[in-house]
Structure 1
């Protein structure tokens, strides 16, 4: 048996959108189960996101600390952000987020991994990139606001972040997945075996 996720879509007999927000909405579908019964499934509809594990020449990861109101905590995270428009090239979105949040550019990009953050209640898909060969971006810094105006930036050794994840001290999904995936890649076939930055992404198809 091949252990691989596969596309499948059960029949939906009715759908409604009881809430629409600025970036996301909530949808209710009536879904036909294998035994023929129909059940309601509520889930958040999300445009998709990108995350960037930016690794500098000293093998330190660029992280930022940001207040997250739903969990009432300041979390250490990797740079990340939403896909602004349907079909947006995720690499372009990642380059934009790295510039806006850290004023950094990278010359070398690879796809580290693709994940669904909470597939039981949200259709958000995230592509996490590995970015290397970092340097300061040109021009003025992007003007941030709201929670981002209070962000802190740091560069932390990869093993220290892995330790924090396993110790239950770091909880951000993209950070945890990113640092563990990179650690596995380094212990396995190496980063040269990672997918190219323009690899297809069936969860959020895009134009090259």
Structure 2
């Protein structure tokens, strides 16, 4: 059986913003028809599961307006600095959101957050050998980040929070579960920080 090639015949921009745009593609379908597909084109993001020497995971609590509540999340952010590779973006976000530096960074898991309507891809890194960002070099947090709180929890507790529905952020769910699995496999599933996507 030969797979159908879904070819884009045309693209219309509906909205263009700093983080994402919304487009409509006219796509060929099996059987010869065409269909419009609306979706979000995203700049991409990174997240960090930071584990300290006691096996605690560093999570943040941050308000997210689309869902109207404070969420449990990983330190994470956009890949929006020109020329910055994914590992550097992860290190930057860890420093900005958790005031931490990582002596070791490995690739933990890659995911598409919601491929039914967005092309957003996020790479989750595992950060270990943590140290504090010196107070005079810490990021000045603004807007929602001004009220961001940083919490350290045992990894097993974070896993339980995922399974109970307390942690629902997709990147955090995937990162916490992948970190627990990688730890249980003595870190064998980890990939280098510059592993291809």
2:169 matched to 1:158? no
How far apart, in 1, do the equivalents of 2:98 and 2:165 lie? 26
User: TM-score, normalization: structure 1?
Assistant: 0.89
2:123 is aligned to 127
User: TM-score, normalization: structure 2?
Assistant: 0.94
How far apart, in 1, do the equivalents of 2:82 and 2:112 lie? 17
Tell me whether 131-140 or 36-45 shows the greater mean CA deviation.
Answer: 131-140
2:30 is aligned to 34
1:204 is aligned to none
2:175 is aligned to 178
| Structure 1 residue ranges (4+ consecutive) displaced by more than 2 angstroms after TM superposition | 85-88
Unaligned 5+ segments in structure 1 are 1-7, 202-208
What does 1:26-175 align with in structure 2 at a 5 Å threshold?
26-85=22-81, 88-138=84-134, 139-175=136-172
Q: 1:66 deviation in Å?
A: 0.4
Q: 1:140 deviation in Å?
A: 2.7
Q: Is the 8 A contact 2:107 2:190 kept in 1?
A: yes
Unaligned 5+ segments in structure 2 are none
Q: 1:20 deviation in Å?
A: 1.0
**Residue correspondences, number:** 193
How far apart, in 1, do the equivalents of 2:10 and 2:188 lie? 46
